[in-house]
């Protein structure tokens, strides 16, 4: 792409508002690519000359002729080849590191601009008015569902302890989401590690750009996962799939860990932002021709979860400048929280086209004898727990201080009301 479509990449950066920041990187990559090809050609030429010299040395020795001059030339050429190969390795490494810094190019239907250019594409349900609705952190503390003080004592700020019925609510959400997506939507349920290696984090785009946001395990070069997307997407890293295996769909529950290094000054009250949270994730591998439709399918699956919970929500198409680093197109699902008086994101559903598959080398063969192609990957939250719980505590709040349990959760929780 750097070689054949540099203007397409520059236009993608312009749409994201990052051309001034990263346009020079594309220029540098073009030069590095030219240098790399030149060095490869030079090394091959020098090796061919050395081979010819070696053959001539052998011929002279067989003929009893002196060859000291050619042997010296061969050693000199060997030194030259070593120097050029070292330069080639340095050039290739810089090329690779710079390529990893470039974000995905958004799809044509993604609007240009930043957050102000986001588009609400549809809404579902009737948002509750804010009259007499208390914020979820007050309700949770009063009903004994949340214990922020002891969470801060054992871990620090930005962590949550759920207690009693609150803990049972978390467990019921996990079971409901996994049952919904596994039994009704056809996803294969997987249980994956919470620690992954550097290659896995790089494959989905967390590294190198977001290393400051990750919790790293010193001495092991392992990272706590920021989302199940990371291990699940990498299950087939460096593998060649058969087209008959596609589409592949996975759902997984995991705790998620994020340092939130860039969130200074943002609202951290209650369950709005935390360093550790729970989430059920949806991941799909698909053929490129189907990825756009598959994004609508995946987003629809996350929407069903909200509809079953009876929570009013809206679907927002993110503009290019607000779209994540690895994503080509993203829908955010936001639920109305009347106690907070704002829309809270509970799911982000994205198509990455072949961006992650290139980094993780996930390919498929379209047909026997055909050249392998990269799969397209998609993922979305189905759903994230903390803000979903916050919206339940606010939307279903009763005048007596109790909270009605959404009907779909009552069989899992064994309760019709909290409190």
Residue tagged active-site, from 291, 348, 351, 381: 348
Kindly give, in sequence order, each residue whose CB lies less than 8 Å from that of residue 6, ignoring residues fewer than 6 positions away.
26, 30
Kindly calculate the radius of gyration of the chain based on its CA atoms and give it in whole angstroms. 27
196 membership: H or E segment, kind and range: strand 195-197
Judge whether 22 and 100 are in contact, CB under 8 Å.
no
Residue tagged active-site, from 36, 273, 308, 314: 273
HSE-CB at 193 with a 13 A cutoff on CA atoms is: 11
Kindly give, in sequence order, each residue whose CB lies less than 8 Å from that of residue 343, ignoring residues fewer than 6 positions away.
314, 334, 335, 336, 337
* Number of CB atoms found within 10 A of residue 38's CB: 13
- Longest Cα–Cα distance of the chain, Å, equals 108
Kindly give, in sequence order, each residue whose CB lies less than 8 Å from that of residue 69, ignoring residues fewer than 6 positions away.
none
163 is catalytic: no
DSSP one-letter string for 308-377? HHT--EEEEEPPGGGS-TT-SEEEEEEEEETTTTEEEEEEEEEE-TTHHHHHHT-EEESSTTSPPEE-EE
Handedness of CA 284, 285, 286, 288 (dihedral sign): positive
258 is catalytic: yes
Handedness of CA 107, 243, 251, 201 (dihedral sign): negative
198 is catalytic: no
Show the beta-strand stretches assigned E in 46-86.
none
- Bridge partners of 374, per DSSP, are 363
345 is catalytic: yes
Which tokens in the block code for residue 294?
């598959």
Residue tagged active-site, from 16, 128, 258, 363: 258
Judge whether 226 and 214 are in contact, CB under 8 Å.
yes
Residue tagged active-site, from 155, 345, 358, 365: 345
Task: Residue 286: name the closest of 202, 200, 352, 381 by CA.
Answer: 352
C-alpha to C-alpha distance for 50 and 303, rounded to whole angstroms: 65
CA-CA-CA-CA torsion for 284, 288, 290, 296, nearest 10 degrees?
A: 60
Task: Residue 297: name the closest of 185, 402, 176 by CA.
Answer: 185
Residues with catalytic function: 258, 273, 345, 348, 387
């Amino acid at each position: 792409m750097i070689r054949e479509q540099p203007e397409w990449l520059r236009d993608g950066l312009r749409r994201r508002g990052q051309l001034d920041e990263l346009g020079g990187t594309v220029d540098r990559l073009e030069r590095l690519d030219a240098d790399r090809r030149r060095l490869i050609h030079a090394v091959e030429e020098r090796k061919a000359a050395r081979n010819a010299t070696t053959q001539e040395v052998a011929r002279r020795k067989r003929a009893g002729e002196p060859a000291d001059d050619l042997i010296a030339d061969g050693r000199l050429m060997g030194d030259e080849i070593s120097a050029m190969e070292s330069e080639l390795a340095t050039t290739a490494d810089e090329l690779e590191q710079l390529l990893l810094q470039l974000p995905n190019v958004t799809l044509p239907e993604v609007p240009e601009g930043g957050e102000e250019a986001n588009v609400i594409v549809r809404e579902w349900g009737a948002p509750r008015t804010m009259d007499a609705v208390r914020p979820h952190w007050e309700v949770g503390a009063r009903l004994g569902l949340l214990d922020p003080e002891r969470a801060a004592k054992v871990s620090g700020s930005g962590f949550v302890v759920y207690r009693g019925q609150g803990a049972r609510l978390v467990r019921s959400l996990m079971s409901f989401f996994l049952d919904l997506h596994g039994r009704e939507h056809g996803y294969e349920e997987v249980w994956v590690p919470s620690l992954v290696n550097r290659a896995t984090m790089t494959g989905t785009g967390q590294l190198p750009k977001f290393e400051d946001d990750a919790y790293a395990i010193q001495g092991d070069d392992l990272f706590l996962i920021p989302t199940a997307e990371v291990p699940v997407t990498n299950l087939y890293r460096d593998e060649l799939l058969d087209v008959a295996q596609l589409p592949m769909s996975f759902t997984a529950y995991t705790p998620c860990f994020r340092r939130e290094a860039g969130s200074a000054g943002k609202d951290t009250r209650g369950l709005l932002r935390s360093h550790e949270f729970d989430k059920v994730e949806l991941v799909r591998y698909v053929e490129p021709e189907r990825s756009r439709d598959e994004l609508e399918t995946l987003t629809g699956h996350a929407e069903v979860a909200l509809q079953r919970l009876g929570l009013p929500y809206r679907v927002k198409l993110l503009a290019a400048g607000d779209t994540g680093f690895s994503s080509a197109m993203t829908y955010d699902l936001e639920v109305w929280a009347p106690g907070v008086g704002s829309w809270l994101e509970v799911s982000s559903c994205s198509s990455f086209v072949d961006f992650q598959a290139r980094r993780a080398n996930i390919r498929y063969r379209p047909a026997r004898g055909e050249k392998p192609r990269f799969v397209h990957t998609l993922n979305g939250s189905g759903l994230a727990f903390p803000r979903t719980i916050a919206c339940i505590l606010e939307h279903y709040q009763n005048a007596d201080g109790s909270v009605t349990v959404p009907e779909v959760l009552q069989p899992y929780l064994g309760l019709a009301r909290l409190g």
